[in-house]
Amino acid sequence: MQPITKIDVLVIGAGIMGASCAFHLAEQGTSVAIVEAQQAPAMGSTARSAAGVRIQFTEEANIRISWESIQTYQHFFDLYGESAEYRPQGYLLLVPPDRWTAHQESVQLQQRIGAPVQAL
Contact present, 39 and 32 (Cβ < 8 Å): no
pLDDT band at 58 (very low <50, low <70, confident <90, very high): very high
Domain boundaries, the chain: 1-49, 56-120
Please say if the pLDDT value at position 60 is more than 90.
Answer: yes
Tens of pLDDT, residue by residue over 67-115, are 999 999 999 999 999 998 999 888 899 999 999 999 999 999 999 999 9
Q: What is the mean pLDDT of residues 48-76?
A: 92
Q: How many CB atoms lie within 10 A of CB 22?
A: 19
pTM (predicted TM-score): 0.75
Q: What is the mean pLDDT of residues 5-33?
A: 95
Dist CA 34 CA 26 (whole Å): 11
pLDDT band at 1 (very low <50, low <70, confident <90, very high): low
